[in-house]
Amino acid sequence: MLPKAHRLTNSEDFRRTVRSGQRSVTPTVVVHSAFDGGDDPARFGVTVSKSVGGSVVRHRVARQIRHGILGRLADVPSGSRWVIRALPAAGARASGGAPSPGTDVQAGIDLAMRGAGR
Protein backbone atom coordinates (compact mmCIF):
# COMPACT_ATOMS: atom_id res chain seq x y z
CA MET A 1 0.00 0.00 0.00
CA LEU A 2 1.27 3.44 -0.87
CA PRO A 3 1.49 5.97 1.96
CA LYS A 4 -1.39 8.44 1.81
CA ALA A 5 0.95 11.37 1.10
CA HIS A 6 2.07 9.61 -2.10
CA ARG A 7 -1.40 8.87 -3.55
CA LEU A 8 -3.20 10.76 -6.29
CA THR A 9 -6.82 10.87 -5.16
CA ASN A 10 -8.37 13.74 -7.11
CA SER A 11 -9.75 12.99 -10.59
CA GLU A 12 -8.57 16.41 -11.77
CA ASP A 13 -4.97 15.50 -10.83
CA PHE A 14 -5.31 12.26 -12.83
CA ARG A 15 -6.69 14.20 -15.82
CA ARG A 16 -3.98 16.90 -15.72
CA THR A 17 -1.20 14.32 -15.45
CA VAL A 18 -2.46 12.26 -18.38
CA ARG A 19 -3.22 15.25 -20.63
CA SER A 20 -0.29 17.55 -19.94
CA GLY A 21 2.45 15.17 -18.81
CA GLN A 22 4.82 13.02 -20.80
CA ARG A 23 4.23 9.36 -21.55
CA SER A 24 6.44 6.27 -21.42
CA VAL A 25 5.23 2.91 -22.72
CA THR A 26 6.37 -0.57 -21.69
CA PRO A 27 4.85 -3.92 -22.74
CA THR A 28 2.36 -3.98 -19.84
CA VAL A 29 1.93 -0.40 -18.60
CA VAL A 30 1.79 3.21 -19.76
CA VAL A 31 3.47 5.64 -17.37
CA HIS A 32 2.22 9.25 -17.49
CA SER A 33 4.36 11.75 -15.59
CA ALA A 34 4.29 15.47 -14.86
CA PHE A 35 7.13 17.29 -13.14
CA ASP A 36 5.86 20.39 -11.35
CA GLY A 37 8.71 20.82 -8.90
CA GLY A 38 8.10 21.97 -5.37
CA ASP A 39 8.56 20.31 -2.02
CA ASP A 40 5.43 18.16 -2.04
CA PRO A 41 6.07 14.40 -2.13
CA ALA A 42 5.76 12.60 -5.45
CA ARG A 43 2.21 11.29 -5.92
CA PHE A 44 1.06 8.22 -7.84
CA GLY A 45 -2.22 6.94 -9.21
CA VAL A 46 -2.95 3.48 -10.63
CA THR A 47 -5.59 2.65 -13.25
CA VAL A 48 -6.45 -0.94 -14.17
CA SER A 49 -9.42 -1.32 -16.54
CA LYS A 50 -11.67 -4.32 -17.11
CA SER A 51 -9.80 -5.11 -20.33
CA VAL A 52 -6.96 -6.42 -18.15
CA GLY A 53 -9.11 -9.25 -16.76
CA GLY A 54 -11.55 -10.17 -14.04
CA SER A 55 -11.53 -8.58 -10.61
CA VAL A 56 -9.02 -11.03 -9.12
CA VAL A 57 -6.57 -10.41 -11.98
CA ARG A 58 -7.09 -6.62 -11.88
CA HIS A 59 -6.40 -6.49 -8.15
CA ARG A 60 -3.30 -8.69 -8.54
CA VAL A 61 -2.02 -6.36 -11.29
CA ALA A 62 -2.72 -3.28 -9.14
CA ARG A 63 -0.82 -4.80 -6.20
CA GLN A 64 2.15 -5.63 -8.43
CA ILE A 65 2.13 -2.10 -9.84
CA ARG A 66 2.03 -0.55 -6.36
CA HIS A 67 4.91 -2.82 -5.33
CA GLY A 68 6.91 -1.58 -8.35
CA ILE A 69 6.15 2.02 -7.36
CA LEU A 70 7.41 1.43 -3.81
CA GLY A 71 10.72 0.24 -5.28
CA ARG A 72 11.25 3.64 -6.96
CA LEU A 73 9.61 5.97 -4.43
CA ALA A 74 12.93 7.31 -3.13
CA ASP A 75 14.27 7.93 -6.66
CA VAL A 76 11.50 10.11 -8.09
CA PRO A 77 11.68 13.90 -7.80
CA SER A 78 9.57 15.78 -5.27
CA GLY A 79 6.53 17.54 -6.64
CA SER A 80 6.03 15.08 -9.49
CA ARG A 81 2.74 13.37 -10.41
CA TRP A 82 2.51 9.89 -11.93
CA VAL A 83 -0.38 7.88 -13.38
CA ILE A 84 0.31 4.23 -14.16
CA ARG A 85 -2.21 2.65 -16.55
CA ALA A 86 -2.17 -1.13 -17.00
CA LEU A 87 -2.48 -2.50 -20.53
CA PRO A 88 -4.38 -5.75 -21.31
CA ALA A 89 -1.07 -7.66 -21.53
CA ALA A 90 -0.54 -6.98 -17.81
CA GLY A 91 -3.25 -9.48 -16.91
CA ALA A 92 -1.49 -12.31 -18.73
CA ARG A 93 1.86 -11.45 -17.16
CA ALA A 94 0.53 -11.02 -13.63
CA SER A 95 0.29 -14.75 -12.97
CA GLY A 96 2.79 -16.13 -15.48
CA GLY A 97 6.53 -16.62 -15.33
CA ALA A 98 7.26 -13.50 -17.41
CA PRO A 99 8.40 -10.29 -15.70
CA SER A 100 5.53 -8.79 -13.70
CA PRO A 101 3.85 -5.45 -14.40
CA GLY A 102 5.72 -4.11 -11.35
CA THR A 103 9.03 -4.63 -13.15
CA ASP A 104 7.68 -2.76 -16.18
CA VAL A 105 6.53 0.09 -13.91
CA GLN A 106 10.07 0.53 -12.64
CA ALA A 107 11.39 0.54 -16.22
CA GLY A 108 8.70 3.04 -17.26
CA ILE A 109 9.58 5.37 -14.39
CA ASP A 110 13.24 5.18 -15.37
CA LEU A 111 12.34 6.00 -19.01
CA ALA A 112 10.24 8.99 -17.94
CA MET A 113 12.98 10.40 -15.73
CA ARG A 114 15.57 9.96 -18.48
CA GLY A 115 13.23 11.69 -20.94
CA ALA A 116 12.81 14.60 -18.53
CA GLY A 117 16.57 14.84 -18.02
CA ARG A 118 16.41 13.95 -14.32
Provide the CATH number for the domain around residue 26. 3.30.230.10
Q: Is residue 115 in some structural domain? A: no
CA separation, residue 29 to residues 3, 111, 118 (Å): 22, 12, 21
Domain that residue 69 falls in: 4-108
For the stretch 67-99, pLDDT in tens is 999 988 989 999 999 999 999 989 887 777 667
Q: Is residue 114 in some structural domain? A: no
Q: Is residue 118 in some structural domain? A: no
Q: Is residue 117 in some structural domain? A: no
Q: Is residue 74 in some structural domain? A: yes
Work out how many domains the chain is built from and give that number.
1
Judging by DSSP bridges, how do beta strands 43-47 and 22-25 pair with one another?
unpaired
For the stretch 1-11, pLDDT in tens is 889 999 999 99
